[in-house]
Structure 1
Amino acid sequence: MTFRAFTQTHLYTKQGSPKEKDKSSIQCLEYCDRNVYVGTKDSVVQHLTLASTTSGDLRRSQDRIKECRVRKLGSSRPVMQLRAQSVFNHLLVLWDHSVIALNMFSLEPITGMKTIQHVSSFEICKPSLAAESLLTGVEMVTSSSRRKLVRIHLVRVDRWEVMKEISVPQDPVALAVDGTSLCVATDNRYLLCDYKAGSSMELFPHDHNRQNVVVCSAGRGEFLLNGPGSLGMFVMKTGICQRPPLPWPEEVLAVGVCFPYTVALQPRALSVYSMLDQRLKQTVCLNGARGLCSASGDVLVFTDRDIFSLSLVPLEEQIQALVGQRREQEALSMLNGVQSQLQPESYKELHKAISCLAGLAQFNQEAFSEARDLFIEGDLDPREIINLYPDKSFLSDGFNPQLGRPAQARDLEVLREEDSTTFHRYLDFLGDFLAAVRGTEQGLKCSEEVDCALLKVYVERGDTEHIVQLVASPNACRLDYCVPVLEQHRRFFTVGMLYQSHGQQINAIKTWVKIADGLYHDTSCPDVYEHIVWTLSQLDDRDVVWMFADWALVKNPEAAVKIFTKHNPQDHDTSYTEDILSLLKKYPMALQMYLEFLINDLNSEEERHHSLLAKAYVTQALQEESDAGAMREKLQNLLWESVFYNISAVYEQIEPTPLYMEKAILLGRVGDHSLALKVLIHEEKDRCAAEDYCHRAAQNQNQGEGEGELKQTLLLTLLGLYLTSEDLTGAAVDLLNNNARVFPLETVFKLLPGSWSVQLVSRFLRSSLRETFHQRSMGGLQKGLSRAELFRHKTQASKTMVLVDKGQLCKVCQRELTQSFCSIRGELVHTGCTNSTVI
């Protein structure tokens, strides 16, 4: 099917006798509004008008053109150019190397506008529409036929005047003007001038002998030139080319611009090129064509006797025609190029529709990246693409596909069976496209279908990472479809996550329990039990927690206790805590760990919790296990540091056991240190433990009693117990030697038996005396330092400026302060009186 940018209409045939046909042939043409002006070879200017019902649409003008006035200019010289200037109703005519001005409607000469002679060509500077009503003149450019220059004229309603002359290096052959920019063709090259700024620039050369010189304004500061090598060159007024050249034929007679097309006239045809992609779009046969005249949306082409109109097909129709010919990319390119010419709503709708069709074409050619971008640009309903794939049972019944399947499109269901590799490429595209639109306005229109299709794609691709990301986050997957799909592919752990994301916690955990119990086999989660425990620890629904807590405790009590210890601490109210303790009675280690959590993490001060933990430690410490020592250490620390447990209840449990150190700690907690030391000496038989007990008990001193005093008392008690038995003499000596600084020498002498020699306690005596002397020396030194500090303060006080009234007396001697003085505690005294100060 042939694409048409313009429609051709025969507009007019010039009548004449056979003998005069050659003399009266059409030489030039001008079109303005509904007025057509014809210049002939025999010096005639003819005015034609289109019927008012045509509204300037030349496609409907056949048989509706009216011949108006005719004016004979003089001798049989051809009319070379016609230019209508509607601001002042002038028709400017180039005839006999002169420019004359006629009235557009009467074709009568304008009084006062003298003929401009020696002109080879001219052009009018077209003002902007917004400024026409304010104009006092229109600029016109003429090229001289005798001199190497171009003149700028100001055309007024009844006169014109030369404003400026621009010299050129060679005779000007043709010219075009756009605003203040002027492009001139000389004998062998093209020139650019700005007649306001006075700047000029040489462009590329041309071969005037081998090709027609063409200079045409393309609008917006751009010119179209017939360049070397039969190339149509677009040149900006800055001298640069922003468009690729047009590869048109050699025999170009004339060119015109009718955006978005450029038309190039040849003797037998007119070629239509796109300014957007520089490609030939249409060829119109026109035998004997001589020239053309382009206007907004229309091109008039004339032969010797006939005038044809080429009317631009509405842009929307052209774009739709390209789409109908499966040239979607070309249609999209054209649409974007003519966006400024279309209504915003029309452009938006066309862009969406064409983008989708172009995307489908790219999709069928496996150009997936381009297809995805086009589908997103076209805001395509994702269900249209999902519908192209097999297994679309999750699509809603109310969906009616609007995107037709092209005849050459592949059947993906057949492709899946016959070429799995290619099918997986299509599958990857679906996943990428749906992931790109998911969460956007485009994807939210059908979020259920998007998420179901995505899950299906990820499962078929075996993409575990993306499956987990999808089901772990909020999603719109339909459970009745997605759960069977996941189960079919043995993705049981993911089934649980899907249930969980939809708020069905019980179904989620039940599914995971079956994996942990071996009823389901799924290796995607290596430790599903830990995941269940973590999930239960995060739940606020206590009923669900209780439903599965016992199962978890039976399987692994120590791990399962995290259900409660990792839970929000604010949820551990009294009743909840008691329920947990009741549940954990069957699991001693879990109970112990939970009690440690209550005391160490939640800082519980309840007596029951501390007592239960102490009893739990006792039970564990009595078991013959490798960690019994560590358990006893925990128990001892609790007994030393806690003040909340029931001492009697714990002692009752420990009393019949060999936990002597713990028994001693409890005796010490009730103040019976002597009995505690006896237990350590006679039952535990550990002298080091007894000595350590004294130090530790002193650290945990009772209120009102200093640590040093209590330590001294306890060590003296221990010394007394050692001295009651001759077998413990060595222990007594070691105790004295290890704590010489603590024991008071006088008290020790009173306790020591008379049978002990000085040599036996010589080490103790030396250490004790050395400590005594050291303390005395340190006391003296401290006293000296205190005096020095006091003197420093006094000296600083003496240097302080004090306001003294005349006749003020010293506080000590009561004499007038005429000598040096200082301030002591705010009172002024003579410096010599400071030693006797009693203030």
Structure 2
Amino acid sequence: MNDPINMAQPPARTAFQLIPAIEHKGQKSVVSTVALDSNGQHLYVGTSDGQFEVYRISSSATDLRVVLGARRHVGKKAVAGICHLPAALRVAALIDGVVMLLDEQTLEGHPLPGIKGVSAMGVNAAGEALAVATRASKKAVRVLLYTIIAGSAAASSLTATALCFAQADIAETLLVKSVSFLGRRLVLCTARRYMLLEPKTGSYVELFGLPEDAPSPTAVIPISQAYQAMLVMDQVGIVVNGDGNPTQSALTFPSSPLCIAACGLFILCAGPDGVHVLDRAGGDEVQWMPYPDGLHPSPGQKIVAATSASSNCVVLAGFRKVWMYRPVALEEQARQLLQAGQYDQALQLANTCSLAGAPWAETAFAEAGFLLLQELRFTDAMQTLQRCSTSLFQPLELFPVFPTETHAWKGELPTKQYWGLHDPLTSLPTLLKARLNDEDAADAELITSLQDDAKRAVADYLLQVRNGEGVEAKDGIDTLIVLLLADLDRAAELEHFCGSSNSATVGQVEGRLRSHDRFLPLAALYAGAGQSSKALSIWQGLADGSLTESQADTSGTGPSHEDNRALALRQAAALLRDEERVETATALQCLPWLIAASPELALGLLEARALPEDEILDLLRSSSQALLLAFLQHLVSVQGTGREDLHTELALVLGQAALDLLPASDASSDQSPAITSDMVQHQGGAAAQPDGEVGTCSELLLQHRSSLQSLLETSDLYRIGPVLGQLRGTRLWQEQVILLRKVGDHLAALRILALVVGDMDAAEEYCGKHAGPDGFLTLLDMLLRPGDSRPPLFVEACHLLAAQGANLDPMRVLESLGEDMPLGLAFPTLARIQRERLHRRRHTSVIRSLNRSVGLAAATTRAEVMACRVVASEERACRICHSRVGSKMFAVYPNGVLACFKCFRSCHPSKCPVTGRQFDEMPMSSSEQWADLQLS
């Protein structure tokens, strides 16, 4: 296969056009320097004999004219430098160490006052500040900054046109060769080093230093549009920012430059063999132009260059001729690169211009994408097209590559020309045939590989952009994605895409998916399209094995999948839970096979969706008792149904489930009551099971019994008779106790607790909570006369008397004791009961006497208080507000402080407002009361 893309190719674009400007015809002088104004409309030329010339530039797309506007002799020696000052309508010319300020039109002017020996000057990007470097002494140079003010060049006051606002001295023995503004700072260049100067403070730092044997010359080239500067050292250029730090890798020039100019994105380097145009960002050479006639430098000849601030023109001048290098539009350069097949350079240029906001960059991306697609660089093409907005490029424009899959959307294809560099898109086989040679076209393996690459790249691209704003024909895009993923056997992505929100047309993809055995994605598409019955039919086929999902997956990136059968069941259950998408009749129709295939998922469906209870219960009674139990628990415990029959059925099912888990030897009450606790019962039942089932059966039995006991305790809706009839005669003693308690048969409940189970603590607790005052006597009688030829339980009876004897009537206890009760065994308990009775009667008598004494003391104190009288004269004043009492009501605190009733009500009655004493914490003695008043 031909692959010209990877072949090394020379630069194939024209970044600049060479146009002759002027020819200096002076016999005794040559061009010494040139400059352009900020807009590139005027060309300033200085000569070796002190002549200064101004040329007007008028240009069009096809022509350029340079016309002399003014000429003036401004000095006896060569013009060494020119700076345009547009803000002041002036041009600064450096002649024999003196800076002349000239009117930009008439060239009339005067020297900058007060300075001589100027070696270099520079102007800032705005054209309002002028920097001048001169020698201050043998060991120092001085840099001065001026603001040039617009005004008449013939004004008598020189300070009216140039104001020095900053000055700095630098220790340097060599002359400053060039000066460049870098934001608010200056970069100074001598023959040996570069310095960064802060004019306002006078501080500076050395950026680079060169050894004495280093080649010269050095120079600093301003890059005003980027607020950067390039430091040139022999064949190397370093671009620095406003802090003096490099912004990129160093640029390497083909040879030692004679002069350098920066223009837009490019650096122009004039060398011995011609002008090399370099990309400023990467340093790659994009164009080489030989010198025209009359400009080729002879050994030792100087070439000067100048750039306009707007970067719309570059001027190179030799001794006699001046040539202009006009930049070609970047859009046109991108077009040239694409036509030459240099896609990487074209994309790099478009990317740079896109960041700057160039509107044509997206068109370049689209054109490059089409061309790369036709070059069979599918991945690069899709990555390039991804950078286009939908307002320019629509993903459906790729549909012609797959005409069979996208035929239904043929009429929606937009008609766009872009730049017209690419041929109309054709089908993928046609693209391959047009690009491959005969030998490669006959290689079936290569054809298949390229087709897979194309499908993979387009699928990835469409997956990325399908949800973008403004995407058209989304149904066609999603349909094509499904078809491409199916052809690529990317099962994980296909299932995820079909299971998520999409607009794929099921009818267009059904045949392809079935041919690839992709039933899970097809079912997901049916479900998303509202065809629930078809989706459920496919999932049922996968569950029962009538359909088999393909296991191929060539992506190699997705996680391992669950068994397809389990996945189909889970997806079917999820759809059946959706009441809006699946009708009740359909859900009932699918429920039997779901119960048979996965009871857990069926239970989840029953719990999540409201289905007819009676129909469900009829189905479960005949299919799964475990599921019936779980569903009944859901109805009763979660939904809180109030149906008596459901509560009763739940109790019966729970009871039967517990009985089924009991060992056969323990299922009947005919056995000897050797088991004395529920836990021992459970352990005994579990011990009869095989080793692998012991723990499971025991835990399940405990779970069922706990649920049954909770239901019997909390529910009042079940019918007790059927449940008690089921459990009677079994060893589910605790459950029988609960039922007997609810029907009020406390005697039977106590008999189970005390005589069958032998749990005296539970029996006593039952008596205290449910059997009433006579319950303990009943329990005592039961222990002494157990019946059924059982011996009396004297020890348990004594323990009961010891614990509850204080609450029992001694006479009734004595009546309950039989004649065969051993007196020695009963004496300690009876004696303690008697002592307790005697102690209680004496204690009550003492309490009664103490209460009578306290009441008598309180009555005495009240009588004494009621007998007290206070006598106060009308002249006595309130101790709070100091007003006379007169005939008003007043109050006296226990410490004798008198207060009018108004003040008394506003204060706390138990706290003296004068002394702050708390009477409830420090009561007054009888001798302290009323100390300052008369007592009657």
Q: TM-score, normalised by structure 2?
A: 0.66
Over 3 Å counting, the alpha-carbon distance change for 1:479 and 1:808 in structure 2 is: farther
Deviation at 1:245, TM superposition (A): 3.0
Selected match of 2:496 from 465, 469, 472:
469
- Structural mapping, 1:450-599, within 5 Å: 450-456=477-483, 459=486, 465-522=492-549, 523-526=563-566, 532=572, 536=576, 539=579, 541-552=583-594, 555=596, 562=603, 565-567=606-608, 571=610, 576-584=612-620, 586-587=622-623, 589=625, 591-599=628-636
Instruction: Evaluate the alpha carbon distance shift between residue 511 and residue 561 of structure 1 in structure 2; reply closer, same or farther with a 3 A threshold.
Output: closer
1:418-444 alpha-carbon deviations (Å, 9 max, x no partner): 4767876766655654554454447x6
CA contact (8 A) 2:186 2:196 kept: yes
- String of CA shifts for 1:79-125, please: whole Å, max 9, x gaps: 44444444454444444555445544344x43x64888864644342
Residue number among 769, 776, 780 corresponding to 1:712 in the alignment: 776
Q: Which amino acid aligns with 1:609?
A: L
Partner residue, 2:121? 123
Q: Report whether the alignment pairs 1:375 with 2:378.
A: no
Work out the CA distance in 1 between the residues paired with 2:487 and 2:243: 59
Q: 1:123 to 1:416 in 2, by over 3 A?
A: farther
Residue 252 of structure 2 aligns to a residue whose secondary structure is coil
Aligned mate of 1:288, from 286, 296, 300 = 296
Deviations 1:614-661 (A, max 9, x none): 56568779989968946899878866765433456668x769999998
Verify: 1:325 aligned to 2:340, yes or no: yes
Indicate the SS of the match to 1:297.
coil
Q: Does 1:302 align with 2:317?
A: yes
How many Å apart are 1:784 and its aligned residue? 9.6
Q: Which amino acid aligns with 2:269?
A: A
Match of 1:645 in 2: 718
1:807 counterpart = 2:817: no
Once residues 201 and 633 of structure 1 are traced to their aligned partners in structure 2, the CA distance between those partners, rounded to angstroms, is 86
Quote the offset at 1:247 in angstroms.
2.1
| 1:209–1:778 CA distance, 2 compared to 1 (3 A) | same
Q: Structure 1 regions of 5+ residues with no counterpart?
A: 133-137, 798-803, 810-816, 832-839
- State the superposition RMSD in angstroms: 5.6
Distance apart, 1:191 and its partner CA: 4.1
Q: Which residue of 1 aligns with 2:31?
A: 26
Q: Residue in 1 aligned with 2:230? A: 224
Note the alpha carbon deviations across 1:569-611, whole angstroms, 9 max, x for none. Answer: xx47xxx434444555545835555444433444444333334
Q: Distance in 2 between matches of 1:261 and 1:490?
A: 58
Distance 1:339 1:632 in 2: 75
| CA distance 1:389–1:170, change in 2 (3 Å) | farther
Residue of structure 2 in register with 1:105 after alignment:
105
Aligned to 2:51: 44
Any conservation in 1 of the 2:43–2:55 contact (CA below 8 Å)? yes
**Deviation digits for residues 223-256 of structure 1, max 9, x if unmatched?**
334314x223334454433233332244532222
Cα pair distance change 1:597/1:102, threshold 3 Å: closer
Query: Could you report, residue by residue, the CA deviation over 1:343-365 in whole angstroms, capped at 9, with x for unpaired residues?
Result: x4616635754785698699828
Alignment-mate amino acid for residue 608 of structure 2: H
Equivalent positions of 1:420-431 (< 5 A) are none
The structure with higher relative contact order (CA 8 Å, sep 6+) is 2
Deviation digits for residues 190-225 of structure 1, max 9, x if unmatched?
444444321234432277996444343332654334
Contact 1:447 1:476 in 2 (8 A): yes
2:247 to 233, 242, 251: 242
Amino acid at match of 2:362: E
CA–CA separation in structure 1 for the residues paired with 2:486 and 2:856: 90
**1:355-389 deviation per Cα after TM superposition (whole angstroms, max 9, x unaligned):** 85698699828679xx6487257666445667657
State the SS of the aligned residue for 1:545.
helix
**Map 1:61-80 → 2, pairs under 5 A:** 61=64, 64-72=65-73, 77-80=77-80
The answer on whether the counterparts of 2:97 and 2:118 sit within 8 Å (CA) in structure 1 is yes
- For 1:103 and 1:660, how far apart are their aligned partners in 2? 119
Equivalenced residue count is 764
- Given that residues 142 and 152 in structure 1 are in contact (C-alpha distance below 8 angstroms), is that contact kept between their aligned partners in structure 2? yes
Task: Work out the CA distance in 1 between the residues paired with 2:375 and 2:130.
Answer: 52
User: Which segments of 5 or more consecutive residues in structure 2 lack a partner in the other structure?
Assistant: 1-10, 298-302, 417-421, 426-430, 550-562, 668-700, 859-864, 871-893, 896-917, 928-936
Call closer, same or farther: CA 1:231–1:624 in 2, change over 3 Å.
closer
Mapped to 2, the partners of 1:788 and 1:482 lie a distance apart of 101
Structure 2: which amino acid aligns with 1:65? Answer: V
1:757 and 2:797 correspond: no
- The 3 A distance-change label for structure 1 pair 12 and 596 is closer
SS state at 1:270 partner: strand
How far 1:7 sits from its partner (Å)? 0.9
Deviation at 1:5, TM superposition (A): 1.1
Aligned residue number for residue 266 of structure 2: 261
Aligned partners of 2:784 and 2:794 also within 8 Å: no
**Matching residue's letter, 1:170:** T
Aligned partner letter, 1:480 = G
Alignment of 1:689-708 (within 5 A): 689=756, 699=766, 707-708=771-772
- Which residue of structure 2 lines up, in the alignment, with residue 60 of structure 1? 63
Q: Distance in 1 between matches of 2:70 and 2:847?
A: 130
Match of 2:791 among 713, 730, 741: 730
CA–CA separation in structure 2 for the residues paired with 1:141 and 1:739? 118
Kept in 1, the 8 Å contact 2:49–2:78? The answer is yes
Residues 99 and 111, structure 2, Cα contact 8 Å, conserved in 1 = no
Aligned-pair identity in percent equals 17
Distance in 2 (alpha carbons) for counterparts of 1:149 and 1:793: 115
CA distance 1:320–1:742, change in 2 (3 Å)? same
Post-superposition offset of 1:737: 5.7
- Measured after TM superposition, the shift of residue 308 of structure 1 is 1.8
Structure 1: which amino acid aligns with 2:644? E
- Tell me how far 1:45 sits from its aligned partner: 3.4
Deviates more, 1:449-458 or 1:774-783: 774-783
Equivalent-residue separation in structure 2 for 1:322 and 1:556 (angstroms): 64
How far 1:696 moved relative to its partner?
A: 7.3
For residues 320-362 of structure 1, the C-alpha deviation after alignment (integer angstroms, 9 at most, x for no partner) is 323333333333433444567x6x4616635754785698699
Instruction: Tell whether the 8 Å contact from 2:83 to 2:93 is kept in structure 1 after alignment.
Output: yes
Change (3 A) 1:558 1:139: closer
Instruction: Report the CA distance shift for 1:642/1:47 in structure 2 as closer, same or farther (over 3 A).
Output: closer
Question: Which residue identity lines up with residue 534 of structure 2 in the other structure?
Answer: N
Using the TM superposition, give the Cα deviation of residue 311 of structure 1 relative to its aligned residue in structure 2, in angstroms: 0.8
- Matched to 1:599, the amino acid is V
Q: What CA deviation, in whole Å up to 9, does each residue of 1:816-837 have, x standing for no partner?
A: x99xxx999xx99999xxxxxx
Contact 2:13 2:286 in 1 (8 A): yes
1:768-809: per-residue Cα shift (whole Å, max 9, x none)? Answer: 6556757877998999999999999999x9xxxxxx899379
TM-score (normalizing by structure 1): 0.72
Which letter does structure 2 place at the counterpart of 1:293?
A: A
Give 1:292's aligned amino acid. A
Q: Which amino acid aligns with 2:307?
A: S
Contact kept in structure 2, 1:8 and 1:309, CA below 8 Å: yes
